[in-house]
Amino acid sequence: SDPAHFPWREEPVPLEQYWSSAKVRAHSLLENTGLLPPEPSKQPATMHSLFGFDPRPLQEEVEHLTIFSGPSLIILEDSTGGGKTEAALLLAYKLIQQGLGNGIYFALPTMATANAMYERIAVRGYDGLCLYERYYSGKNPISVVLAHGQRLLSTRYRELTLPDSTAPDK
């Protein structure tokens, strides 16, 4: 209903012509407002491309894992320090690249663990990009949210969302 993209017309237009034109204008409107989902990156789904280091054994298994298009339950088990989190992040990247997901949601038990995970995905890495930026091509905006009530105490959250913030440091 935005008159800048969908102006009122007095003269009748055949439905096929209107529909074709309306789809182009709607896509343009969505692109200009940042509402289109981000496009997955074309970078290889490897530990090196995401994290800048060679894979540990579990991570190497995930690199070579064949992803099926149907429902899946994938359980990653390894010892402490075996790289399960990075393996899971690589797996999510592979799913997003194959069109089997649009993003990641972390449901963590405490604000401290949520802050720690947010820090892991939002810190600038070996190539100057945040992990979440490596997942996508950069064509459309990426939404990254820290969704607990004390998020303004997170320095990283403030840096990403409120660059001129005067919120207190934690």
Question: What CA–CA distance (Å, rounded) separates 86 from 52?
Answer: 11
Question: What CA–CA distance (Å, rounded) separates 108 from 17?
Answer: 50
Residue 170 has pLDDT above 50, yes or no: no
Amino acid at the residue 130: C
Predicted confidence (pLDDT) per residue in 140-161, tens digit: 888 888 999 999 999 888 888 8
Q: Cα dist. 154→64, 107, 132, 164 in Å?
A: 36, 17, 18, 14
What's the pLDDT at 111? 94
What's the pLDDT at 140? 82
What's the pLDDT at 27? 86
Higher pLDDT, 34 or 73: 73
Amino acid at the residue 114: A
Dihedral of CA atoms 26, 30, 32, 37 in degrees, nearest 10, equals -150
Predicted confidence (pLDDT) per residue in 43-82, tens digit: 999 999 999 999 999 999 999 999 998 888 999 999 999 9
User: Mean pLDDT of all residues in the chain?
Assistant: 89
Reported pTM: 0.78
